[in-house]
Structure 1
Amino acid sequence: MFERNKLVPEIMVTHLESSLAFWVSCLGLTVAYQRPEDGFAYLDLNGAQVMLEQVDSQAGQWLTAPLTKPFGRGINLQIDVDAVAPILRKLDQAGFPLFRECKDTWYRADNVEVGQREFIVQDPDGYLIRLVERLGERPACSICV
């Protein structure tokens, strides 16, 4: 049986097929299940899960305001992956520009720094997706703690 996470964002999309092409073909998520008649798909990548729902003005969806692009203002979705390089190649081949170039970044978490190779790309509706390859941990700078 498929295991659903306790927190799974459901994002509204304008065209489910275009979004599936991005999320599945470029980012590598798989379709756990879908309801094409409802414009819905539940995606998974090693436990990173997201639901896509196509906007339908007749469906009584939970919209708090009119949707205007870019969608998802104020949020980015981080997905841990084994390696970012293959995803970067697929995005380049598909013509998706990066919102933020790939770089190694270290973030302090109490007395350690957590490293990640990361980049940000926008999906077809403008949601920011941050793909992260973990680089490990190191002691935090003593003057920073």
Structure 2
Amino acid sequence: MNPRARALQSLIRLRKTEVDQARAELGRVLAQERAAEMQLAQSRQQLENEQREVTAGRTSMEDFRVWLPAGRAAIERAHRLVFEAQQVTDQARAALTQANAALKAAEAVLARWQEEEREKEARREQNEVDDLSRRVRRVFG
């Protein structure tokens, strides 16, 4: 195999590895984002539960008033974590997109080179046929 073809195929393997790594990273950060969203949902649910307890008379308004700042702080923290996780997810998506683009570019370069090689071979074969045809005409012509 031609050294250039080997180099391009090695580059493609490297790019595929990068795509796999970027895909795995995206999966990891998506899981973190889902966990952050679940934490936010749980914090909001806790606030709703506490409000129901007060409304039902099972918890005093004073206890709710004491708990409320901590509950709101938990919701705010969870909301911030979701926002940060979404940013990390966006970056991971961008990295995957970039890795895919680099892979496609390397594959395109290899395909273009292979096509050029096929064209060169076809021209060589045609030149041989033409040369042979000229010789036959000289001998028999």
Tell which structure's C-alpha radius of gyration is larger. 2
- Between structures 1 and 2, the one with greater strand share: 1
TM-score, normalised with respect to structure 2: 0.18
TM-score, normalised with respect to structure 1: 0.17
- Between structures 1 and 2, the one with greater helix share: 2
